[in-house]
Amino acid sequence: MGTITKRKNKDGTVRFRGVIRINREGYPPFTQSRTFSKKSLADAWIKKREAEIENNPDILLNREAKSMRLQDVIIKYLDEMGDQFGRTHNLSLLLISRLPIAAKQISSLRREDYTAFADARLKGKYDGLSPISPSTLNGDMMTLRSVLKQAKLAWGLNVNLAEFEEAMLGLKHGRKVTPSKQRNRTPTSDELQQLTNHFYAKYHKRRSVYPMHLVLWLAIYTARRQDELTRMRIDDYSGDWWLIRDAKNPRGSIGNHINTKVTDKAVGVINALLSDDIRDAMRSNNRYWDSDLLLPLSGKILSKNFTEACKMLGISDLRFHDLRHEAATRLSEQGLTVPQIQQVTGHESWSSLQRYVNISPRATVLEFDEAIDVARRAYSDGL
């Protein structure tokens, strides 16, 4: 008989994991699981799967695994490994799992299947989907490659990886896939002041428990990504260094803990976030509250608040992640070497930081204390 367990993800969403365990005489121990958004779906899957096994006991020998559909392989991959990768990676796979290629048996996929999929994505031939750029397609193909490799190397499925690689060579030759362009957008001093004013006023009018006027500058002075900000444990802070747990990594984030240097400028923002009034406000009506965290908040809501503020203020083409670029730019402007910048940002590869070295310093750079003073005066004048 199958069992269902309830679990709560870091973003607050609830998932239900259905597990089937069978120990039948003459067969090896069999275990299979799948995660669903509703308990009723997990229960329905267990009943359906147990009926399939009853009708075909050879499933217990895992003989069917050699002919799994790509859709089922993607679901298995996301269920077992989805929490190790970013939101974009997982959403890309969820989209692919709903397209015609996912209905095919993984053992039957050939280069023409991958090429047809790529062409349809580029030209927007799938209902409800717009054409995509070669760089976006490149991202889709990379995520698909990760699933195929896991299926073959870890799960023993019959996957012809050579066919996929041949398809990729053809797509590259035809310039249908290209690497993503480097994004160099950073906020101007005027934009930072506008955002600080907006968030300061919103917070002090008690329209939000999110102290975004502080989060904004914490991101700039620590170079942390939005999800990393919400995982910073207070007891991992030693004054000069902060241990960042499960930092983003191409090989998977789980267990990738890195020590990052805390700049003097970051200390002032950290102290403000640790003040009693800020902590009390964040605790109020906050389902993410955790006294062990510096920012017991939702990374997705941080980004959402930032995007909405930019739209309201008329600031175009600025993303929360651009604050990380701003952080590296400032460190370079201060004359730090690549290894020194690396200590703060946590970049594993030096090449990803090379573009920040030897840049021309900007004439003026807005700092936290100045921005908060202006925001405070603007708020007082508006009362």
Could you tell me if 161 and 243 lie in one domain? no
pLDDT at residue 358, rounded to an integer: 58
214 and 345 together in one domain: yes
Say if residue 53 is in the same domain as residue 98.
no
- Picking from 61, 85, 100, the residue at the C-terminal end of a domain is 61
Q: What is the pLDDT of residue 250?
A: 56
Amino acid at 7: R
Last residue of a domain, one of 131, 154, 181: 181
The CATH number of the domain where 195 resides is what?
Answer: 1.10.443.10
- Counted domains in the chain: 3
Pick the last residue of a domain from 115, 147, 181.
181
Question: What is the predicted pLDDT for the residue at 251?
Answer: 56
Pairing of strands 241-244, 258-261: antiparallel
- For 348, counting Cβ atoms within 10 Å of its Cβ (0-12 exposed, 13-18 middle, 19+ buried), the class is middle
Q: In whole angstroms, what is the distance from residue 216 CA to residue 190 CA?
A: 14
Q: How do beta strands 30-36 and 3-8 pair?
A: unpaired
What pLDDT digit, counting tens, does each position of 95-146 carry?
Answer: 999 999 999 988 889 999 999 999 999 999 988 889 999 989 999 999 999 9
220 and 127 within one domain: no
Same domain, 125 and 88: yes
Minimal CA–CA distance to 202: which of 181, 216, 189? 216
Q: Are residues 105 and 195 in the same domain?
A: no
Q: Tell whether 86 and 169 lie within a shared domain.
A: yes
Q: What is the 3-state secondary structure (H, E, C) of the chain?
A: CCEEEEEECCCCCEEEEEEEEECCCCCCCEEEEEEECCHHHHHHHHHHHHHHHHHCHHHHHCHHHHHCEHHHHHHHHHHHHHHHCCHHHHHHHHHHCCCHHHHCEHHHCCHHHHHHHHHHHHHCCCCCCCCCCHHHHHHHHHHHHHHHHHHHHCCCCCCCHHHHHHHHHHHHHCCCCCCCCCCCCCCCHHHHHHHHHHHHHHHHCCCCCCCHHHHHHHHHHHCCCHHHHCCCEHHHECCCEEEECCCCCCCCCCCCCEEEECCHHHHHHHHHHCCHHHHHHHHCCCCCCCCCECCCCCHHHHHHHHHHHHHHHCCCCCCCCHHHHHHHHHHHHCCCCHHHHHHHHCCCCCHHHHHHCCCCCCCCCCCHHHHHHHHHHHHHHHC
Let me know whether 167 and 203 are in one domain.
no
Question: Are 82 and 122 members of one domain?
Answer: yes
Tell me the C-alpha distance between 244 and 224, whole Å.
9
pTM as predicted: 0.65
What is the SS3 assignment for 190-250? HHHHHHHHHHHHHHHCCCCCCCHHHHHHHHHHHCCCHHHHCCCEHHHECCCEEEECCCCCC
Residue 363's pLDDT is what?
Answer: 79
Q: Provide the residue range defining the domain that includes 135.
A: 64-181
Cα 258 to Cα 241: distance, rounded to the nearest angstrom: 10
Task: Scan for tokens 């919103």, then name that residue.
Answer: 202
Q: Could you tell me if 9 and 295 are in contact, meaning their C-beta atoms sit under 8 angstroms apart? A: no
Mention every residue, 6+ apart, whose C-beta is less than 8 A from residue 323.
Answer: 187, 216, 219, 220
Longest dimension (CA), the chain: 81
**Cβ(183)–Cβ(132) under 8 Å?**
no
What is the distance between the alpha carbons of residues 353 and 371, in angstroms, rounded to a whole number?
Answer: 27
Whether residue 148 is found in the same domain as residue 278: no
Residue ranges for the chain with pLDDT beneath 50: 64
Task: Report the pLDDT value the prediction gives residue 144, as an integer from 0 to 100.
Answer: 94
Q: Are residues 47 and 115 in the same domain?
A: no
Q: Are 282 and 296 in contact (CB under 8 A)?
A: yes
